[in-house]
Amino acid sequence: MRAALLTPLLAALASYVSLVNSAPALTATPSSQSSPSSSTSSSWWPSSLFSKAKPHPLVLWHGLGDSAFSSNLADLKDSLEEAFPGIYVHLIALGKDEASDRNRGVFGEVDKDVKEVCKTLQEVEELKDGFDAVGFSQGGQFLRALVQRCPQVKVRNLVTFGSQHMGISDFPACQSGDLICRLTEVALRSGIYTDYAQTHVVTAQYYRNPLSPTAFERYLESNHFLTDINNEIPGRQKKVYKERLQALDAFVMLQFDQDTTVVPKRSSWFESYAIANESSTGTTPETIPLRQSDIYLEDRLGLKTLDKRGALVMEVCKGAHMQIDSACQQKVFGTYIGSPRSLFSRSLPRRLRHAWHRLFFMLSGIQGVATWPWSAHLLALLYVAGVMRLVYLAGRWMGGKTREHMEVRRARKEGSIRLP
């Protein structure tokens, strides 16, 4: 009954944060599988709630078959700049024009690409104090690799749309007339684990098929990218990858419920098929839920640590791969993307801030506390104080009952109380 007294405070807190973080969607009508095209009307972001602070800078990495120079990305950039006045948006480009950048997303060595992007971002003045990052499809796991491998950049929130964090076990069907896709498929089918494919064909570097014991063994022997960023090989695991990933304020992973491009689609949530053996071949494959997987239970990448403080966010978007509707956008933009660094986050050291996030999540079950303004944190503090007060009072009451019970037992033993 006493706990029920705190329910209105928690409801008020949730409503306030919902108001602060509310934002109409960027209308997306994607024309490719990799990145959305967006348009928006007049300004609608309630920036007055955040004073005059500029939104945190944003870095975008497109997916396979798209380019930083495409009209889709240009429209998205314009929409974000209109929706969040003052935001700086940086589009990652590996090529000098649309054609070359598109090709670099198909052919190249991912390890070198991540190193190149790390160096490029360090030279961008607007990103010196950190930024948020959004990756579309394969751009998501590339940005995660950047977080883990590039300590010179400071990423606050990492958001991935339909990304292949546990790789792909099959190749998506090519669209009619997509010559680059056809050439890539031929190259992959002819020798995915050759040295050439593992250093020149991008999708080969995150191909992982645990359904075939032979193929999986070759993957562990030949792959240099995905096995590394997932800390998958014993003896080669890097503790620093875990430290850097769990330093994020939030890691948001979005899965598309009708995704047939990413196989399995739950790879976007770090889920994978079980590693097969000779006796299990031929059975219907099912992915292992993240919280039951080795990568989570062993906390190889800090995913469990993030989850325990409510910083690991797993959302579902309705539709096919990269079909980002308004409901999907509202899960991210205005909450994890587009908000400035709060006074709270600027004032407290990261470790202390994350300890507070964990405490509040443990007591309330509410995620996304890292994105809240200082005023919401004050309300949250009142809630936590109320919970702790109830725990204290309950402890005193239970202690009193225990002492009373012990005194009665002692009195009975001494014979000073006669039973009827």
Contact 134, 159 (CB under 8 A): yes
Whether 377 sits among the annotated catalytic residues: the reply is: no
The rounded average pLDDT for each run of 10 residues, N- to C-terminus, in the chain (420 residues) is: 45 46 48 46 36 85 95 95 96 96 95 98 96 98 98 97 95 63 64 92 94 93 97 95 96 96 96 81 80 97 96 96 94 92 70 80 78 68 70 69 64 58
The dihedrals phi and psi of 416, each to the nearest 5 degrees, come to -80, -10
CATH code for 25-347?
3.40.50.1820
HSE toward the beta carbon, residue 146, CA cutoff 13 A: 33
Q: Which of 364, 279, 268 is nearest to 316 (CA)?
A: 268
What is the per-residue pLDDT for 52? 59
- Residue ranges covered by each domain of the chain: 25-347
HSE toward the beta carbon, residue 134, CA cutoff 13 A: 26
What is the per-residue pLDDT for 138? 97
Q: Which of 259, 267, 272, 342 is catalytic?
A: 259
Q: Which of 38, 67, 137, 169 is catalytic?
A: 137
What is the per-residue pLDDT for 40? 37
Burial 368-391, CB ≥16 within 10 A → b, else e: bbbbbbebbbebbeebbebbeeee
- Helix residue ranges per DSSP H, 128-283: 138-149, 179-191, 195-200, 213-222, 226-229, 239-245
Radius of gyration of the chain (CA): 25
Largest interatomic CA distance in the chain:
96
What is the per-residue pLDDT for 50? 41
Whether 321 sits among the annotated catalytic residues: the reply is: yes
Q: Which of 56, 62, 90, 321 is catalytic?
A: 321
Rounded Cα distance, 270 and 276, in Å:
18
What is the per-residue pLDDT for 200? 93
Whether 97 sits among the annotated catalytic residues: the reply is: no
By residue count, the chain amounts to: 420
What is the per-residue pLDDT for 44? 34
What is the per-residue pLDDT for 201? 92
